[in-house]
A and B are shown apart, each in its own frame.
Chain A
Amino acid sequence: ETGVTQSPTHLIKTRGQQVTLRCSSQSGHNTVSWYQQALGQGPQFIFQYYREEENGRGNFPPRFSGLQFPNYSSELNVNALELDDSALYLCASSAGGTDTQYFGPGTRLTVL
């Protein structure tokens, strides 16, 4: 059974640019959640996708957007990057109808 994978591992962007992060869910999981983890903080919920539809969103502006594909992999897109967007972005997958989420290793985004 393959776990949750994310790419890229690290990314450096400049303010104002756009970025796309990718996540492959664990085999058999149809739900993907994205979290932002600032240094020294707990993860904060960005949004969740269930069967290709957004299924809830946290307190993040519209420049944070996402997609889920028919194979349940997912993308997180962030437009007009700001310095405060520098963080570890975590993807978690779960089987629809259950609440246990399994996290990937994360993508470390640095905005200069």
Chain B
Amino acid sequence: GENVEQHPSTLSVQEGDSAVIKCTYSDSASNYFPWYKQELGKGPQLIIDIRSNVGEKKDQRIAVTLNKTAKHFSLHITETQPEDSAVYFCAASMGSGTYKYIFGTGTRLKVLA
């Protein structure tokens, strides 16, 4: 069945360092890949997304890369700050042209001051 694998499950970095979270999806028809940040007691907040016709997208300290051939996509956060500490989820659309997501299992990022 459709599946999204996410690694690592936890990640600790020193403030100012970079963090990378990786996901792999199984459905070759998936064409939309959002990333969400979820803080304790809150709903997921969209931080960046990428579509299958683009290989990379950047927004200030956050970037996402997509390798369609390998079915891999990654989140890169540079110059991490304590407020980046949260759980991050990747997701993939369920097939082309659908608006339902399969989520990864999440990465708990801790930025140490």
Contacts and interface: CB of A to CB of B under 8 A. Distances in A.
Interface residues of B, number: 25
B101 A101 contact: yes
Contact of A100 (B49, B98, B105): B49
Interface residues on A, range: 20 to 34
A42 B88 CA distance: 9
Contact of B44 (A40, A43, A99): A43
Nearest to A98: B99
A32 to B, nearest CB: 11
A112 B98 CA distance: 36
Interface string A78-112: 00000000000010001000111111111000000
A98 B93 CA distance: 12
A101 B34 contact: yes
Which of B32, B44, B103: most chain A CB closer than 10 A? B44
Given A4-B43, A56-B98, A94-B99, 16 more contacts: A31-B99, A33-B99, A33-B101, A35-B103, A42-B4, A42-B105, A42-B106, A43-B101, A45-B100, A45-B102, A56-B100, A90-B44, A100-B34, A103-B46, A105-B42, A106-B43
Interface of A: 4, 6, 31, 33, 35, 40-45, 48, 56, 58, 90, 94, 98-106
